Structure 1
Amino acid sequence: MNEAVILAAGCVLWRRSPESGGLEIALVHRPKYDDWSHPKGKLKRGEEAPAAAVREVAEETGMACRPGPELPSAHYEVNGRPKEVRYWAAEACGGTFTPNDEVDRVAWLSPAAARGRLTQDRDRPLIDALMAALRTA
């Protein structure tokens, strides 16, 4: 049964606004699904989840990041198969986004705006978890 679980990892990517110094969260737009989500993706064979999360951030946003505390995992079904996505808080530390087939836009938004833009309800609690993790860091 466990072999059927799709394993994925991602980050709630954040930075301080270059203009205001306020917290901004990066969301990615995937044209295939026409949705807004946190950067994430499936683990490659033999890959550890934290490494996959950092790789997915780089692939989807062009950003290098510094992972921090682990956030709650998401569990849901995709085409009848269970999927588990492990997430980390991660601070963006440089890079440039280049649109590609998988992700055509990245938006840096305030936590409230990011919460409103996310397509899936299950992604919203991750913003609260990030805020709590940053307060205790």
Structure 2
Amino acid sequence: MSGPVGALVRAAGCVLWRRPPTPGDGPELCLVHRPRYDDWSFPKGKLKRGEDALDGALREVLEETGYRCVPGPGLPTARYMVGERPKEVRYWAAEAADGTFEPSNEVDRIAWLSTSDAQKRLTEDRDAWLVDVFVSTIQATGEFP
């Protein structure tokens, strides 16, 4: 379903997080490994025609990680080029709820990591930058000190 050269690709995703196993530690972030690109990123994907961005973000998290989540504050929108097409990815912070990961052709592994380890593992700098924004955003909401 490709559009004309230069047509905007709309996508959405979440910085999926969970409370740490050890009280007092910071949140753990979920990263997905995509074997097609051999990269680590946040769960995200293209929106379906007419799909609301938040609905699409929650759908993509469930499809890629197996986890339902509770959406929180919006995070900055990433804008970059993919080939000759501009791409826009809307992000939200989202706390993991129930779920179980099942490997697929699209995502073969997930990793729950501290924010600093996640920042190091992420393939793209634009994703690593989003970790800093996530941390300051949840600190502002009072979720974590």
Report the aligned-residue RMSD: 1.2
**Is 2:139 the counterpart of 1:102?**
no
> Residue in 2 aligned with 1:14?
17
**Aligned to 1:83, which of 84, 87, 93?**
87
**Aligned to 2:75, which of 48, 71, 74?**
71
**SS of the residue aligned with 2:110?**
strand
**Aligned to 1:55, which of 46, 56, 59?**
59
Structure 1 residue 136 displacement after superposition? 1.3
Tell me the matched-pair count: 135
How far apart are the structure 1 equivalents of 2:86 and 2:54? 20
**Is 2:8 the counterpart of 1:5?**
yes
Identity across matched positions, percent: 60
Query: Structure 1: where are the runs of 5+ without partners?
Result: none
Q: Indicate the structure (1 or 2) with the bigger Cα radius of gyration.
A: 2
**SS of the residue aligned with 2:51?**
coil
How far apart are the structure 2 equivalents of 1:92 and 1:126? 18
One-letter code aligned to 2:22: S
How far apart are the structure 2 equivalents of 1:132 and 1:93? 22
Structure 1 residue 58 displacement after superposition? 0.1
After TM superposition, the runs of 4+ consecutive aligned structure 1 residues lying more than 4 A away are none
In the superposition, the TM-score normalised over structure 2's length comes to: 0.90
**Aligned to 2:31, which of 8, 27, 33?**
27
How far apart are the structure 1 equivalents of 2:75 and 2:68? 19
In the superposition, the TM-score normalised over structure 1's length comes to: 0.95
Query: Structure 2: where are the runs of 5+ without partners?
Result: none
